[in-house]
Amino acid sequence: MIRLGGWCARRPGGAAVPPGRRWACPGPPVRTGRAGCRSLRVLVDMDGVLADFEGGFLRKFRARFPDQPFIALEDRRGFWVSEQYGRLRPGLSEKAISIWESKNFFFELEPLPGAVEAVKQMANLQNTDVFICTSPIKMFKYCPYEK
């Protein structure tokens, strides 16, 4: 069941709701604010939203592999850093992955300019709940703890 505010995209039992129709969700009510309005829930990602993943990656890559080619931030394309590095030169994909699999990579990422202040402002808005929502990188023992 996909919860959309106080409504569901599926009926109890799993049947889809026809387009343009709503079905009241069973379960606990949505929290309401002082004026009786539903609270807005904001989910904020960490990598590339709060934390400078790309900049942190590039600094560490250049420090660890100074003689290897690199991709400047303005030339980065796509979601997966390792795929673009793999196209640049054979073997660079594995080197790129080794950067974010290293201890303290996520812990040492700098916040993006204005990101922390923006989240604090959202958190102070009436009837607004802000949550950090991120996912750890697969097969990485440090990432969940550091995030």
What residues are annotated to the active site? 45, 47
Q: What angle do CA 65, 61, 95 make, to 5 degrees?
A: 70
61 three-class SS? helix
- In the chain, beta strands by DSSP E: 3-4, 7-8, 23-24, 40-44, 128-132
